[in-house]
Chain A
Amino acid sequence: MSTPDPTTLFTSIVGSAGVSHTDAGPLAQRHMTEVTPASRAECVEIVRAAHRERIALFVRGSGSELRLSEYASPAALLCTTRLDQVIEHAEGDLTFSAEAGLSLNAAQALLRPHGQRLALAPRAPSATLGGIMARAADGWTRKSCGLVRDQILGCEVVLGDGRVVHSGGRVVKNVSGFDLCRLFTGARGAWGVVLSLTLRLRAVPQQRRVSLHAASDLAAAFATAHALNASLPDAEVVRVRVVNAAHGTTYAVLLSLAGPAARVEEAVASADDLAGSATELALAALHDGGTPQCVVEVLPADTAAATRALLAYGAGGVIDADVATGTVEFMAPRAPEWDPTALSALAHELRGLEPLVSFPAHPESLRWQRAEFGAVDAANAALLRRLAQRFDPRGIFEPGLHSWK
C-alpha cells in the first residue's frame, strides 16, 4: 500500500489554509509539506495520522532553532505557532498556562502589566514556550531562577503513537507519578510534541542595572568576576566578556543586578567599589553578538580554563564566560570552519574539563563527531531508545536528529 501524500492527508485535517510548502525562504533546500494546526485537537490528529501513515514529522515553533535532517520523504514540518492561546494566568498563584506555540515575547508582554514575568531568557525572545521546553533553552535567568526544567510545573504532550499524556499540574509543588515534564524538557521533540505547559511566574524586579567593568587582562577579569560572584550572591549575571577585534582584544566583566530598589542600589555601590567604574548597558546587552558559533559548558571553577581553550583555539569575535554557571559562549561574525582538524584542536584544548559542547548555528550532528563533547553514553542511549520504542514506536519524530535514537 502506498503512503498518502502528506499534503492531501493533512489538508483533510486542517483544511487547505493550514497546509503550505517549505520551498521558500531558509528551508528552500528541503521541499516539505508544512502543516499548521489551529488547535491542540488538530495537532493530535496530525500526529495520529502521521503515525498511521509513517510520515516523519519535524516540529517547528518560531523556527529560531529549527533543525532538519537528511531524512528521506515522506516528511512534513509541523508548525505550532497557531497553538498560541493562554489557558490560564493564575495571577494570585503566580502560575501561567498556555499553549506551546505562544511566543515568549507575547507571554512576557501579557504578564508585564501585572508585574510578573517568566524566568526564561533564551537567545531568541521570539522562541515559543514549547520550543524553549523542548530544547531546554536556558539563558541568563539560570543563576537567579534556575534552569528551564525548574520553571515547568505541568505539561501536555502528544506522543508519537498519538497518546495524549499529562504530567504535573498547575500548582508549584507536585510529586504525583513519574515526572514526565522533566523527561520531556530538553528531549528536543524526540518522543512527541508539547501541546501546552504550565510555568512558574516571578515578580518583575523593582530595579535592574546591567553594567560593564573594564579589566586589564583575562586573569584580572576572572579575578574580579569571581570576587563579584562571591560578594554579591544575589547578582543576576556575572560574566567575563572578551572582545577580539581588529584593533586588539578587550576584557571586561558584565554584571546584572536586580531586585528590590534598596538592595540594587547597595549592590551597585559594592560592585563599583570592587570592579571599578561601570558603563551602563541595556538588558539586551546580555545577548550581544548574535547566535553563538560554539557553547562550552563546564563546572563553574573551570570557566577560565574553558575560555582560555577557546582563545587558544584561535577563536575571534566575542566570548562571554558566565562564572556562576560555567557557560562559555563564543560569538563570531563569520562562522569558523568546524572541520575535523578544528574539532580535534578544540577537543584537545578542552581536555580534562568534561565539557558539554554545542554548535547552535550548525547541524546537531557536528557535536556528535567528538565523544569528548558530552556525548550520550551507551547506558543512557539504550534506555532512551527503549523509551522511544514505546512512545514513538514508528520513529516518526525528528528522525536523524538524535544521536541516541
Chain B
Amino acid sequence: MPSAEFFAALRSIIGPERCITDPGLLLAYECDGITHLRTTPSAAVLPESREEVQALVRLCATHGVPITGRGAGTCLSGGATASAGGILVVFTRMKRILKVDAANRLVVVEPGVVNARLSETLRPLGLAYMPDPSSQTACTLGGNVGENSGGPHCIKHGATSASVLALEVVLPDGSVVNCGHARGRTAAPDLRGLIVGSEGTLGLVTAITLHLERIPRHELTLLASYRDMRSACEGVSAVIAAGILPSALEALDDRTIAALEASGKPSGYPRDAAAVLLLEFDGEASAVRAEAEAASALLRNAGAITLEEATDSEQRKRLWKGRKGAFGAMGRLAPDLYVMDTVVPRSKLAEVLPQIGRICDQLGLRLANVFHAGEGNLHPNISYDGRNPDEVKRVIEAGHQIVELCLAAGGVLSGEHGIGTEKRDYMPLMFGADSLSAMRDLREVFDPQTLFNPDKLLPTPRICAESGFPGKPRTRP
C-alpha cells in the first residue's frame, strides 16, 4: 500500500473529489469485464487533462507505485484492473472531441470519449468511425487503443490500429511523445502501431487522432440460417475463399439465439436454426448487390436453409441490436459470463468449433457461441456461477484447453480482447524465448521501473514459477 505522503500528494494533484480511496466506492473498480480476476486498487483517480496525467505519472514514478489506465472498464482480459498496491487512472472525464476535420476525414479526441458517442457526433457530417466493439455504447476510445479493439465491422475496415493516425502519449517518466501523424506516414519507425494494443504497458494515451470513413451509401444485410454450425462455418469459408469482402460476417448459435429471444427484446433471429450467419455489405449499390448475390449462392451451396435480406432499416437495426446485445442476453443465463477470445484460420472454423463444444461438454459447462466468423475470431461464451469454486476451476480449465486447441489449429491467443492477466501465462505457448525477451526489452525501454500495468501482457519468471508453467495457468479467486 502506498504511503500517506503519496495519497496526500495524489489529492493535491487531482483534488479530493476526483481521488477515490473509499473501499466501498473502490469495489466498482476491482475488476473489468472478466469478473473472476479481481484486484482492489489503492485509489482510482479521474484526471481531466494531460498535465494532470503527467503529474500523476511523475508522482507514481517517485514513489514506485504501479499505475493502470482504465476507460469504462469493459476490457475482457483483466487488463484494466489495478496491480497490487497500484492506482487506477480512469479516463472517463477526459471526454472532449478536440477537433473534427471533415475535409481530411479525421478527428482528434481525448481517450475518455465513448466509441458510440463519436459515431453519433459524426453522423450529420456523413462520416463514421468504423471499429465498433459490441460494448461500443460504453467503451472508450482510449480503451480501444489500449486493446486494439475490433468489432463486427472490422473485417473490411480493420481493427482500431488501422484507424489510428497519431497518438499523444505520456511515458512512464512523465514526458510526452507524439507518435504517428495525421497524414498517415512518418519518417520514423511506427511507434504509433506499437503503442496501439500495448495494453497500457508503454504509456498512457492522452489524445488520439483517428481516420474516418464516409458513411456507406448503401448497406445490405443478409441473414442465413443453418441446421448445424459446421455447415454455417463452411459457408463462411466459401465466402472468404471466393475473395468476397463483406463489411461484417458474424455467426450466432442456437443457444445465443435462445438467450436473445428470451431476453424480452426479440431480434428476429429464427428460433429453429442451429446457427445463423449475419452478413453485411456496404458501398455503392451495384457493387453491394453483386457481392451479396455471389455470397448468397455460396451460402446456399453450403446448406443454408433460409436466406433472408433485411427489407428495411428497422429490421437491419433489430438484427444488429440483437447481435451486439448477445453478451448481455447471455448474462441472464447465469450470474457470470466468461467471454473468451481466440482466433483460428477461417478455413479451420468447422473443425475447431465442435471440439470447443466437446471440451465444455466434458467439463459440464454451458457454452454459447457468437463470433466474428469472417475473421476466424471465436468468442466461446461460458455461463457460470462465480460463487461456485469448482465451476470457476472448470471454466479456467476449459479456457486453457480452448487456447491450446486454437493454437494447434494455427491460431493465436487473442483477436481483440488482448492478453491482460487472463492470457498472460499462455504467452509462452505462442512465443519462444527470443520473442518474449525482445518484448521484455521493449517494455523496459519505455518503462524501466515496470510501473505501467506491470503484471499484464508478459509473463515474468516469477509468475511462470508460481503457475508451474508450462502447464496450468495460475488461477485467481
Interface residues of A, Cβ cutoff 8 Å to B: 90-95, 115-116, 136, 138, 146-147, 149-150, 159, 163-180, 182-188, 190, 202-204, 232-234, 259-263, 266-267, 297-301, 325-326, 354-356, 358, 367, 374-377, 379-381, 383-384, 386-387, 390-391, 403-404
Contacts and interface: CB of A to CB of B under 8 A. Distances in A.
A185 to B, nearest CB: 6
Contact-residue size bin, chain B (C-beta under 8 Å from the other chain): 35 or more
Contacts of B427: 176-177
Contact of A176 (B187, B430, B437): B430
Interface string B79-107: 00000000000000000000001011110
B389 interface: no
A178 B193 CA distance: 9
8 contacts: A166-B435, A173-B372, A175-B417, A177-B430, A182-B192, A182-B194, A263-B286, A383-B445
Contacts of B411: 169, 171
B176 interface: yes
A253 B427 CA distance: 51
A344 to B, nearest CB: 19
Interface of B: 101, 103-106, 147-148, 150, 154-155, 158-159, 161-162, 175-179, 181-194, 196-198, 214, 217, 237, 240-245, 283-284, 286-287, 289-291, 343-347, 372, 375-377, 410-419, 423, 427, 430-432, 434-435, 437-439, 441-446, 457-458
Contacts of A115: 243
A266 B284 contact: yes
A321 to B, nearest CB: 14
B143 to A, nearest CB: 13
B340 to A, nearest CB: 14
Contact of A177 (B187, B286, B416, B431): B431
Contacts of B444: 390
Contacts of B190: 136, 149, 182-183, 185-187
B445 A297 contact: no
Contact of B242 (A147, A203, A326, A387): A203
Given A178-B442, A179-B194, A379 B177 contact: yes
Contacts of B177: 379-380, 383
Contacts of A297: 183-185
B194 A175 contact: no
B170 to A, nearest CB: 11
Contact of B445 (A146, A190, A377, A386): A386
A13 B295 CA distance: 52
Contacts of B189: 183-188, 190, 384
A69 to B, nearest CB: 16
A163 B434 contact: yes
Contact of B414 (A174, A325, A403): A174
B103 A90 contact: no
A379 B438 CA distance: 21
B176 A379 contact: yes
Interface centre among A138, A171, A354 (most CB of B within 10 A): A171
Contacts of A184: 189
Given A355-B183, A381-B188, 7 more contacts: A115-B243, A147-B184, A172-B376, A174-B343, A179-B198, A182-B194, A233-B283
Given A184-B189, A260-B286, A301-B103, A94 B240 contact: yes
A163 B194 contact: no
A146 B164 CA distance: 12
Given A178-B198, A185-B190, A380-B177, A356 B183 contact: yes
Contact of A150 (B158, B191, B290, B291): B158
Contacts of B196: 179, 182
B438 A391 contact: yes
**What 8 pairs across the A-B complex have the smallest Cβ distances?**
A203-B243, A182-B193, A263-B287, A390-B441, A187-B189, A260-B290, A163-B434, A379-B177
Nearest to A232: B284
A179 B148 CA distance: 10
Contacts of A326: 104, 183-184
B447 to A, nearest CB: 11
Interface centre among A146, A263, A356 (most CB of B within 10 A): A263
Contacts of A300: 103-105
A90 B284 contact: no
A176 B411 CA distance: 11
Given A179-B196, A297-B185, A387 B343 contact: no
Contacts of B286: 260, 262-263, 266
A173 B376 contact: yes
Given A170-B345, A386-B445, A391-B438, A91 B183 contact: no
Contacts of A176: 412-414, 419, 423, 427, 430
Contacts of B194: 178-180, 182-183
A374 B415 contact: no
Given A182-B194, A379-B176, A391 B441 contact: yes
Contact of A380 (B155, B179, B185): B179
Contacts of B438: 159, 163, 165, 180, 390-391
Contact of A138 (B158, B159, B176, B185): B185
Contact of B188 (A94, A260, A380, A390): A380
B262 to A, nearest CB: 30
Contact of A164 (B346, B434, B458): B434
Given A263-B284, A380-B191, A173 B442 contact: no
B374 to A, nearest CB: 9
B158 A354 contact: no
A354 B412 CA distance: 39
Contacts of B179: 380
B345 A325 contact: no
A171 B376 contact: yes
Contacts of A180: 194, 438-439, 442
A334 to B, nearest CB: 26
A92 B243 contact: no
Given A165-B438, A177-B457, A260 B287 contact: yes
Given A159-B438, A173-B415, A234-B284, A376 B148 contact: no
Contact of A165 (B287, B435, B446): B435
Contact of B435 (A167, A202, A404): A167
A267 to B, nearest CB: 7
Contacts of B240: 92-94
A377 B416 CA distance: 31
A299 B182 contact: yes
A188 to B, nearest CB: 8
Given A180-B438, A376-B188, A234 B445 contact: no
B193 A183 contact: yes
A384 B188 contact: yes
Contacts of B290: 260-263
B272 to A, nearest CB: 30
Nearest to B242: A203
A399 to B, nearest CB: 16
Contacts of B105: 300
A156 to B, nearest CB: 9
B372 A403 contact: no
A171 B442 contact: no
Given A92-B241, A375-B187, A379-B176, A166 B431 contact: yes
